[in-house]
Amino acid sequence: MFVEVTRLLTVLLCTAAGYGIGRHSGEGLEQGPLVGAALGALFGYLLGGVGGRLLRRAWGRAEDHIERVPTAQLLAGTLGAVGVGGLAALLCIPALVFLPWAVGWLTYSLVVWLAVSAGFALASHKATQLFAMAGLSTRPLVRASPYGEDPDGDAVLVDSSAVIDGRVLSLVQAGFLRGPLLVPRFVLDEVQSVADAHDPARRRRGRRGLEVLDAVRRAEVRVHVLDDEMVEYREVDAKLVALARRLRVGLLTVDGPLQQVAELQGVRCLNPDHLSDSLRGEHTAGEVLRLPISRPGRDQGQGVGYLDDGTMVVVGDAADQIGNEVEVEVTGQVQTSLGRMLFASLR
């Protein structure tokens, strides 16, 4: 729609310009204005299409850049640019009066542009102090990250599902997570609500998650609680994705749908489930394994057993071997959403 509207307006503008040029350059020729209008319309159609696409692409990049800039910095920079630029515009009026026309306008434009750029840069870098001088708080406008504008490369934003899952401590102890763990306040509140739930199972999981965070902190890995509220979003998942994009850090989660949405928006995700699947041993067709058959399979005659790493093995004609340990030969494997699954037959 943006491209089509831009093209339409460009065609109308170029048609009017071609009509005017045709009238003045083709005086005495009846077809001059019509030819000029037709040529202008053709030129406008091409220019509008190309220009509209370029403008849409540039606007998309500008939106991505603006989204990463904290709101307080953007607001303070805009006010600074308007204030300093307006003052420079007033002070440079004599240049328009006393200098030649071309030199005066060039000097005026250059000084105002430099003033606008300087005003935006200075005000945006001092946003917190400027709002504090005015008696205003930037919370929840600015990022509450304790390490400034350039977060550590290994910093990871933690989802409530990863906290409750409890494997964060194992990943830290194994050295897979070395950087600071960033826990937003709204994630901590969500875990706290689970820890206070009436259901005993949910309450145990929530309290276990809080204990894991405390153990991670005592394991000499920095745990920072961020006060970013992200009031422009209502859902916790949307807040997490937007905050990860703003901080330019990875997201630790075991929530599959959240991971898919985050990765589609360019957020690097770390999922303990995917890590454990990757660390499981590879088993090729023809390999002989020994395992207990624990339950019947979904199809008639099948038995199901599990390897030490948790890999499920479906064994044909093993329904009568439930409770026994048998030798099986791997016939194939398949990757499912729950992990790798092997197929085998009795030896």
Q: Is there a single domain that holds both residue 237 and residue 253?
A: yes
By three-state DSSP, how is residue 89 classified?
A: helix
Domain encompassing residue 230: 156-277
In a shared domain, residues 340 and 293: yes
Asked if residue 166 and residue 257 are part of one domain, the reply reads yes
Q: Say yes or no: 45 and 73 in one domain.
A: no
Q: Which residues contact 119 (CB under 8 A, 6 or more apart)?
A: 77, 80, 81, 82, 83, 84, 85
Let me know whether 160 and 273 are in one domain. Answer: yes
Q: Report the half-sphere exposure of 117 (CA within 13 A, side-chain side).
A: 6
Same structural domain, 165 and 257: yes
- Give the pLDDT confidence score for residue 148 in this predicted structure: 42
Query: DSSP assignment, residue 283?
Result: -
Q: What is the pLDDT along the chain (347 residues), one digit of tens a residue?
A: 666 777 777 777 777 777 777 666 655 445 666 777 777 778 777 777 777 777 777 777 766 766 666 666 777 778 888 888 889 889 888 877 887 777 778 788 888 888 888 888 888 777 766 666 665 545 443 344 444 444 455 788 888 888 888 788 888 877 777 778 888 888 888 888 888 888 888 888 888 888 888 888 887 778 888 877 777 778 888 888 888 888 888 898 888 888 888 888 888 888 887 776 666 667 778 888 889 999 998 888 899 998 877 788 999 888 888 888 999 999 988 877 666 788 999 98
As a whole number of angstroms, the distance between CA 236 and CA 242 comes to 10
Q: How far apart are CA 128 and CA 211, in angstroms?
A: 34
Shared domain for 207 and 264, answered yes or no, is yes
Sign for the pseudo-dihedral over CA of 128, 132, 133, 136: positive
Into how many domains does the chain fold? 4
Q: What is the pLDDT of residue 343?
A: 92
Query: Does 15 fall in a domain?
Result: yes
Helix (H, G, I), strand (E, B) or coil at 25: helix
Domain ends where: 67, 101, 116? 67
Judge if 225 and 160 occupy the same domain: yes
CATH of the domain at 183: 3.40.50.1010
Residues 53, 95 share a domain: no
> How far is CA 135 from each of CA 72, 123, 131, 132, 190, rounded to the nearest angstrom?
14, 16, 6, 5, 31
Is residue 7 a part of any domain in this protein?
Answer: yes
Domain holding 310: CATH number? 2.40.50.140
Q: Note the pLDDT of residue 310.
A: 74
Name the strand (E) or helix (H) holding 304: strand 303-306
Residue that finishes a domain, picked among 9, 32, 67: 67
Q: Residue 21: its pLDDT value, please?
A: 72
175 and 260 assigned to the same domain? yes
Query: What pLDDT sits at residue 301?
Result: 87
Residues 217 and 108 in one domain: no
pTM value? 0.48
Q: Which tokens go with 236?
A: 């916790």
Tell whether 265 and 293 lie within a shared domain. Answer: no
The pLDDT of residue 153 is: 57
Q: pLDDT tens digits, residue range 278-334?
A: 666 677 788 888 899 999 988 888 999 988 777 889 998 888 888 889 999 999 888
In a domain, 42, yes or no: yes
Whether residue 151 is contained in a domain is answered as: no
SS3 7: helix
